[in-house]
Amino acid sequence: MAKTLLEQLKSMTVVVADTGDMQSMEKFKPQDATTNPSLLEKAAKMPAYQQIVDETLKKARAAKAGASDKDVANEAFKELAVAFGAKILEIVPGRVSTEVDARLSYDTEGTIATARDIIARYKKLGIGTDRVLIKIASTWEGIKAAEVLEKEGIHCNLTLLFGLHQAIACAEGGITLISPFVGRILDWYKKDTGKTYVGAEDPGVQSVTNVYNYFKKFGYKTLVMGASFRNIGEIRELAGCDLLTISPDLLAELDANTEELPKKLDAEKAKSLQIEKLTIDKATFDTMHAADRMATDKLKEGIEGFAKALEGLEALLAKRLTEISATVAV
């Protein structure tokens, strides 16, 4: 029987589930899983996870006795992210990525403190640092925070990554993993040029390919995890990448297709490529970022989007907290 695209992909790339829905993880059996505020907000609205939400809210209320519903909801978000992460780790054999508050994206010290807090919450549940990646936006401040955390043995996943300057800064900082956003890069170019891109012409595919080849050429240990896919064509073009994080809908498409999947990215081939080596300090990072309209636009938009999703999740939790309090009062 012919192997599906998903089966073939798993033979050359670590497949990661990009969702907060644990039922889809049980179905597609990824190695790792990633979450973000948008995915957590979506999962928190599902009836299947209402018990986790309610238990988390009660725990947060006990920890913040006398605090406002808003403060309790903020505490509950942190606890909920870890609660979902712990449940996910009962399903996936590898690691889960848990995100730092996007509103701290330009706050190095705040990011470090929050990451340590997340890890401490996991440790209380008996989950070690080897199974958790802390997701941080790829701002200069975020990358510097991740450098500190990596030296403490806290592994990081630098997200909202759109430019080579961000990727190189992460690699030079010894970051465990980066998540370049394939689909969001494509979105920007389609809007900016009005063109349609297919296959290897896709600017998001080209961006991740360039980062992957750069890392392998110069022997960086930082892993590349393509993210934010719009179609399985993008995934096929990045077969062989270290990791790919894929939504349930696209996992289902890959699982239903039995065409042949050639390996497109190859670490050994990358070593023979002619690539200029760059050194990224803050001045170079800022200059390259300012010159890259796409990276500038998408990083700003991504941080604002995650912050808005977080505010939406906190509002949802505050509303549910009021409902629970009313039920108890009755």
Catalytic residues: 135
Distance CA 285, CA 303 (A): 18
Mention every residue, 6+ apart, whose C-beta is less than 8 A from residue 259: 5
In terms of Cα–Cα distance, which of 188, 232, 187, 241 is closest to 213? 241
Spatial distance between the Cα atoms of 296 and 300, rounded to a whole number of angstroms = 6
Closest residue by Cα to residue 172 from 51, 65, 41, 281: 281
Q: Is the dihedral of CA 282, 287, 291, 293 positive or negative?
A: positive
If we measure between CA atoms, which residue out of 236, 245, 238, 240 comes closest to residue 268?
240
Say which DSSP state 66 is in.
T
Closest CA to 223 of 245, 206, 199, 201: 245
Partners of 17 in beta bridges: 33, 246
Task: Name the nearest CA neighbour of 227 among 177, 261, 268.
Answer: 177
Q: Can you say how many angstroms the Cα of residue 206 is from the centroid of all Cα atoms in its chain? A: 20
Q: Dump the DSSP string for 199-234.
A: GGG-HHHHHHHHHHHHHHHTT---EEEEB--SSHHH
Rounded to 5°, the CA angle 269-167-130 comes to 90
Contact 134, 112 (CB under 8 A): no
HEC sequence for 163-181: CHHHHHHHHHCCCCEEEEE
